[in-house]
């Protein structure tokens, strides 16, 4: 009985701490070589609000050591192309997250209750964030620099987060639509459950990665502070 009790206690402790990470998904086939570039170096007017580098996120704890955002180069260039149309309307891009190491996706899954799993990626398949082809993005007001309100907060796990949610104010729905139109014109597609999450069209061409930010080589800033050239 003592052995059974000890086993149950160990199992409970293991559950409370989260299951140990399994290996990232084994993938076969031809993939493009990763070419992650830093968004702030592509366009200095893109603002960052990397919530996972703080405790201000749904996990309540810091997940990233650095407040940085990366995407595969074609996705980053598409994001930069979408920016001028938004600027003409008085808005700038506000990045919450880009490339996400697989181990962080695994931690998210372990910390989320099953009824909320539709809001996080299954680590057995990996996330499009892990491939460097998904971006979590909102808008900021060019005049004030303040975040633009949407029908829900970023990372809110509720029906209000849905891309087609009809609640909120008319102005919130208008700016949500403006963001969606600008990104979808450049090859992104919104996640139906999350107005802020956009997948780039080429995501299938890249592997799931588990590379920490510090190990990613930063591409040099373009001479004019704008878009870097493709290699």
Please, are residues 103 and 127 in contact by the beta-carbon 8 Å criterion? no
Residue 26, in any domain of the structure? no
Residue 142, in any domain of the structure? yes
Residue 16, in any domain of the structure? no
Mean pLDDT of the chain: 85
C-alpha to C-alpha distance for 125 and 6, rounded to whole angstroms: 34
Count the domains in the chain: 1
**pLDDT interval class at 222 (50, 70, 90):** very low
Residue 25, in any domain of the structure? no
Task: Answer whether residue 186 shows pLDDT above 70.
Answer: yes
Task: Answer whether residue 23 shows pLDDT above 80.
Answer: no
Residue 5, in any domain of the structure? no
**Domain harbouring 76, CATH code:** 3.30.1380.10
Residue 23, in any domain of the structure? no
In this predicted model, what pLDDT tens digit does every residue of 152-182 receive, in sequence order? 999 998 999 999 999 999 999 999 999 999 9
Contacts of 141 (CB under 8 A, 6+ apart): 90, 91, 92, 147, 148
- Mean pLDDT across 53-81: 95
Residue 1, in any domain of the structure? no
Residue 43 domain boundaries: 31-215
Q: Which CA distances in Å does 171 have to 46, 148, 167? A: 22, 10, 11
Query: Which conformational region is residue 181 in: left (phi greater than 0), alpha (psi within -120 to 50 degrees), or beta?
Result: alpha
Residue 225, in any domain of the structure? no
- Mean pLDDT across 74-98: 98
Task: Answer whether residue 28 shows pLDDT above 80.
Answer: yes
In this predicted model, what pLDDT tens digit does every residue of 118-156 receive, in sequence order? 788 788 888 999 999 999 999 999 999 999 999 999 999
pTM for the predicted model, two decimal places: 0.82
């Amino acid at each position: 009985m003592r052995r059974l009790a000890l086993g149950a206690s160990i199992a409970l402790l293991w559950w409370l701490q989260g299951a140990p990470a399994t290996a990232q998904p084994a993938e076969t086939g031809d993939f493009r070589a990763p070419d992650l570039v830093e968004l702030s170096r592509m366009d200095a007017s893109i603002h960052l609000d990397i919530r996972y580098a703080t405790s201000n996120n749904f996990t309540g704890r810091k997940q990233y050591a650095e407040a940085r955002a990366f995407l595969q180069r074609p996705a980053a260039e598409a994001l930069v192309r979408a920016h001028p149309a938004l600027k003409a309307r008085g808005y700038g891009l506000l990045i919450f997250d880009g490339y996400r190491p697989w181990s962080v996706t695994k931690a998210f899954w372990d910390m989320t209750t099953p009824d909320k799993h539709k809001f996080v990626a299954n680590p057995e398949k990996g996330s499009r964030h892990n491939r460097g082809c998904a971006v979590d993005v909102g808008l900021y007001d060019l005049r004030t620099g303040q975040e633009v309100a949407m029908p829900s907060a970023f990372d809110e796990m509720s029906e209000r987060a849905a891309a087609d949610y009809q609640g909120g104010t008319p102005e919130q729905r208008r700016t949500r639509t403006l963001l969606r139109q600008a990104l979808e014109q450049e090859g992104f597609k919104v996640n139906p459950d999350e107005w802020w999450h956009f997948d780039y069209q080429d995501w299938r061409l890249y592997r799931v990665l588990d590379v920490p930010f510090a190990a990613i080589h930063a591409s040099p800033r373009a001479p004019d502070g704008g878009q870097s050239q493709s290699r």
